[in-house]
Structure formats: structure tokens, C-alpha cells
A and B are shown apart, each in its own frame.
Chain A
Amino acid sequence: MNEKSIKKIFKIHWAWNDDKEERWLEKMSREGWHLTSPGFVYRFEKGGPSDMVYRMDFQSLRKSDIKEYLGLFKDAGWEHVGRFGAWYYFRTKASGGQVPEIHTDYESRIAKYQRVMYLLVIFFAVIWSQVLTTLNQHRDPHAFWYAVKAVQIIISILMGYAVARLFLKINENSPA
């Protein structure tokens, strides 16, 4: 047997663009590259080109609940490909007619983005409370503290942006 060829791709995807990421993974599969593990670095394995449907779900699960969660997907015909943080990656073969979905109503699609958003809001609050306390504690102009503050502010701006994008995503998925 030939040695399986493996491809690693570094790529950052944003939480509000999960559908773009799914389309990208589907395109890779059509070209014969099948995801083996997601992350900042995606690993793919070479195989025959095939029409796959990729879907991502966001769930912060307790260890004891993971089995039941993945079991439901398996029963419904979805293969669990991997996990990156709280993002779970699933795929199934496209079967011509109806495109299979893991979320079959807008309520649960919205709930997914809300879970991502709530988590970000919590992080956002934690980081800002730190920005404010360090601001008060270190009034001396020390380069190190400026750097720390700058990083915190950049991260929180990015998070604020993410929350706004997710909010738009929720609106986009809501009925008119």
C-alpha cells in the first residue's frame, strides 16, 4: 500500500464564517483531500474525490454528555471528524436530493451562534475588567504595562467585533 499523503494547511476561520469554512472543507473533499483533524492547522488525508457535506456545531459539553451527543449524530448518519475547542466537525455523504442538515430549524441555528456569542461576551467582560483594574493600579509610565494594556485592548476590540458579526449572523438567520 502506498504511503498516505497528508496535507497540512494553516488557516484562520472566524466563528461568524462557519458556513464559509464548511464550503471550503467540501471543496477540499471534492479535490480528494479529506479532513482528519481541524485546528489552526487543518490536517487532510489524500483519498478519492467525493461529494461530502460538512457541518460544524458549537457546544460546550460536559465529559459525561459527549457520548450521547456524538451518538445522536452517528445515529443520524453523521461521522464525527474532529473537534477544535467547542467546535465539533461532522460530515456525511451528499446524496443527490435534499442536503442533510444537523440543524433543521432556524431556532437551533440561532441558538448555536448565541452560544458562541455568550461565551465571547463573558471573555470580553473578563478582559475589560482586567484592563480597567490595571489602568488604575499602574499609573507609572512603564513600557511593559503599556504593552500589556495594548494587547488587552486589541483583543477586546477584536472580541467586540466578533460579537457584532455574530449578532448580524443571528439576524441573518432569523425569519424576516
Chain B
Amino acid sequence: MGEIDDKARKFLPLTEATYYILVSLIEPRHGYGIMQNVAAISEKLVRIGPGTLYGALTNLVKQKLIERVGEQESEGERRKVYGLTGLGKSVILLESERLVALAEIGRLAMEKLKTVNPEK
């Protein structure tokens, strides 16, 4: 476990888009499915354009965080389906731990700011 974590740590921190894409791939999805899922889980606050998505998918495959797991055909369109690799899963876990710790610090920072400057 230690070795794969060392490898995974090199990818941190992830860009926001990469994090959303990886989290979307906890269940295998095609590109279109990723775009829809990101819009859904972020309540439409985050959108990933096709140019950004294509670049990210190519990089993530190269870095072996994701892999092609098959193809899906619907309405005459064939789409490649991607899923996480073991390394990809470790990267999400480590990055999520980092983000949760950061969010905790953020929560404390907000409280502190409110007591120092109560009007705001």
C-alpha cells in the first residue's frame, strides 16, 4: 500500500477539473456521462468543456490513473467508457483527505475572521 501511495502523492494537488473527473469515474462512465455527472454533483456550478475534458482524459490515461474499460453504444453513437485504476483510486483517497483537512482549516479561519471582525 505504501508504494502505491508514494506514487499517488506525486499527482497532488489535482486541478479542480481533474478531481471532478476522477470522482465521476468511481463508476465507469463515458465522456458525455462525465460532463453530465460533474454538472449534477456540483449543482451546475462546475462545467467541464469538451476541450478540457479531452485533454484531461488523455493525460489521465497516460498517467495510468484511469483506463478504458469498454464501449457503450446508444442512439447510433459509440462512446469509450473509462474507469479508475488502482492508482487512480489512491489518488482520489489522498486528495480527498487533503481537501477535507483543508476544509477544516477553512472552517476555523472563517470563525476566527468573524470574531476579529464581527460586522462582516
Could you list which residues of chain A lie within 8 angstroms of chain B, going by C-beta atoms? 55, 57, 59, 67-69, 71-73, 75-76, 78, 100-105, 107-108, 111-112
Q: B49 interface residue, CB < 8 Å from A?
A: yes
Number of interface residues of B (CB under 8 A): 20
- Given A108-B17, A108-B56, A103 contacting B51 (CB threshold 8 A): yes
- Given A75-B31, A75-B32, A104 contacting B52 (CB threshold 8 A): yes
When distances are taken between beta carbons in the complex, the residues of chain B under 8 Å from A105 are 15-17, 52
Could you list which residues of chain B lie within 8 angstroms of chain A, going by C-beta atoms? 15-17, 31-32, 35, 47-56, 77-80
- Given A68-B31, A75-B35, A102 contacting B15 (CB threshold 8 A): no
Q: How far is the CB of A164 from chain B (nearest CB, A)?
A: 24
Pair count A-B, CB < 8 A: 62
When distances are taken between beta carbons in the complex, the residues of chain B under 8 Å from A108 are 17, 49, 51-52, 55-56
When distances are taken between beta carbons in the complex, the residues of chain A under 8 Å from B49 are 76, 100-104, 108
Question: Which of B35, B55, B79, B80 is in CB contact (< 8 Å) with A76?
Answer: B35
| In the bound complex, CA of A3 to CA of B111 (Å) | 69
| In the bound complex, CA of A72 to CA of B34 (Å) | 10
